[in-house]
Amino acid sequence: QVQLVESGGGLVEPGGSLRLSCAASGSIPRINTMGWWRQGPGKQREWAASITSGGSANYADSVKGRFTISRDNAKNTVSLQIDSLKPEDTAVYYCGLVWSSGTYWGKGTLVTVSS
């Protein structure tokens, strides 16, 4: 089992920045992809960004240029730097760890973008 705990959410004004973090613990598969998904009000969960254990990052078109994902394999953490926040970025952000046998999820952290 793998446990994922997100942190860093909160209320931020449009144009502001936020940094989300996710710490993984437990029996972590050596080869995995960690990432961030988000679910806005009344919307389905969508993928935002992910990074492989080798460091290859990918982003959804909607966040490209504003989101930066990074990971520390030694600490089993993944972070998401979010800049130029927009009201439409308001969502619960979930950390996920994908491996050959499935996906583990955190409980999510709420990001609210509002003035």
Per-residue pLDDT 10s for the chain (115 aa) are: 999 999 999 999 999 999 999 999 999 998 899 999 999 999 999 999 999 999 999 999 999 999 999 999 999 999 999 999 999 999 999 999 999 999 999 999 999 999 9
Distance of CA 81 to the CA centre of its chain: 9
> Are residues 48 and 36 in contact, defined by beta-carbon separation less than 8 angstroms?
yes
Q: What are φ and ψ of residue 88, in 5° steps?
A: -75, -5
Identify the pLDDT of residue 31: 87
Tokens of 74: 């030694």
pLDDT score at 41? 95
**What backbone torsions phi and psi does residue 25 show, to the nearest 5 degrees?**
-145, 165
The pLDDT assigned to 97 comes to 97
Q: In 28-99, where does DSSP find H-type helix?
A: none
In eight-state DSSP terms, residue 55 is -
Q: Is the dihedral of CA 93, 105, 48, 38 positive or negative?
A: negative
Token code pair at residue 95: 């950390």
